Amino acid sequence: MKAFTYQRADSVTQAATAAIKPGAKIIAGGTNLLDLMKLQVETPSRLIDINRLPLDRIEETPEGGLRIGTLVRNSDLAADPRVRQRYGVLSRALLAGASAQLRNKATTGGNLLQRTRCYYFYDVTKPCNKRNPGSGCAALAGFNRIHAILGTSEHCIAAHPSDMAVAMRALDAKVETINGEGHTRVIPIGALHRLPDKTPDIETSLKPGEIITSVTLPPPPPGIQVYRKVRDRASYACAGFSRRGRR
């Protein structure tokens, strides 16, 4: 792991101001970021720890939905009685992801911003346009049965690994952000993640220093919600295919 300066943020705007600096990264749960740092796929020179910020609450919105703080842990979100009752697809998707230990640590915002599990993105000896723009894509002619079928480009065929994001998309969630100047923004979840096209290294529409503060859910849609995940083993594996539906 490359050396970095560790800093604990006292406020959201302080974190956003620090995060805009080159080489800076926000750390929340850290389960994906530290994994990638150990492999030197991620090499931040400064880590800003936001775990002490008061962004870990789930609140009712006046519209009849929920506002989920970015630091709400995946396990707490899946187990929240309101989520289980009204947004079953979200609970199911969360529980389909990772392991209990990881879900106890992983956060809502971090889950959305986690990186692909493409083998070639993880292997720093291989070309990867996402990790090293312009170097090529080893997955195109490589072992790629876990890769994307839709939304690919000739530069990248990586899939986003999040189960939770699939459910959030089905529920028309919105992502709320703030930057160092204190300006807030609302991004529909469908506009958060970008298709790879020619710049697979730019994965989201977030600007440098822009931090997710919460994710809001509109009132639950009518009908039954289901989440189906196909994978290589019964538990603790990324999806080969996942879909959400309501009827």
Partner 1 sequence: MDEHEPDAEPNAFEVTRRTVIETGATALLLTTLPRAALAAGEAYDNEPLPPPVKVELQINGQPHSLTLDARTTLLDALREHLALTGSKKGCDHGQCGACTVLIDGRRINSCLTLAAMHDGHSITTIEGLARGDDLHPLQAAFVEHDGFQCGYCTSGQICSAVGMLAESRLGMPSYVTEDLTHPPAELNDAEIRERMSGNICRCAAYPNIVAAIKQAAGMPT
Closer residue to partner 1 (CB): 194 or 231: 231
Closer Cβ to partner 1, 129 or 225, answer by number: 225
Is residue 111 within the footprint of partner 1 (CB under 8 A)? no
Residue 241 binds partner 1, judged by CB under 8 A: no
Nearest alpha-carbon partner for 107 in 134, 79, 68 = 68
Question: Would you count residue 100 as binding partner 1 (CB under 8 A)?
Answer: yes
| φ and ψ of 243, to 5 deg | -145, 155
Shortest distance, position 13 Cβ to partner 1, whole Å: 21
Cβ atoms 92, 83 nearer than 8 A = no
State both tokens at 46.
């400064």
Q: Which of 54, 134, 235, 247 binds partner 1 (CB under 8 A)?
A: 235
What whole-number distance in Å separates Cα of residue 12 and Cα of residue 55? 9
Q: Is residue 236 involved in binding partner 1 (CB under 8 A)?
A: yes
**What does the alpha-carbon distance between residue 68 and residue 214 come to, in Å, rounded to a whole number?**
5
Residues numbered 168 to 207 that lie near partner 1 (CB under 8 A) are: none
29: buried, middle or exposed (CB in 10 Å: 19+, 13-18, 0-12)?
buried
Q: What is the DSSP string of 168-193?
A: HHHTT-EEEEE-TT--EEEEEGGGTB
Return contacts of 85-88, CB within 8 angstroms, 24+ apart.
86/220, 87/167, 87/171, 87/217, 87/220, 87/225, 88/224, 88/225
Q: Give least dist CB 119 to partner 1, A.
A: 14
In this complex, which beta carbon is closest to partner 1, that of residue 86 or of residue 155? 86
Contact letters for partner 1, residues 136-175 (x by CB under 8 A): ----------------------------------------
CA dihedral angle for residue 82, residue 78, residue 211, residue 216, rounded to 10 degrees: -30
Q: If you search the block for the tokens 């990790």, which residue do you land on?
A: 131
Say whether residue 92 binds partner 1 (CB under 8 A).
yes
**Shortest distance, position 184 Cβ to partner 1, whole Å:** 26
- Should residue 4 be labelled a site residue for partner 1 when binding is judged by CB under 8 A? yes
Distance CA 83, CA 90 (A): 7
Nearer to partner 1, 26 or 137 (CB): 26
Stretch 31-70: interaction string toward partner 1, x if CB under 8 A: x--xx--x--------x-x-x-------------------
Q: What is the contact surface with partner 1 in residues (CB under 8 A)?
A: 1-6, 8, 27, 30-31, 34-35, 38, 47, 49, 51, 75, 78-79, 81, 84-85, 88, 91-92, 95-96, 98-102, 104-105, 234-236
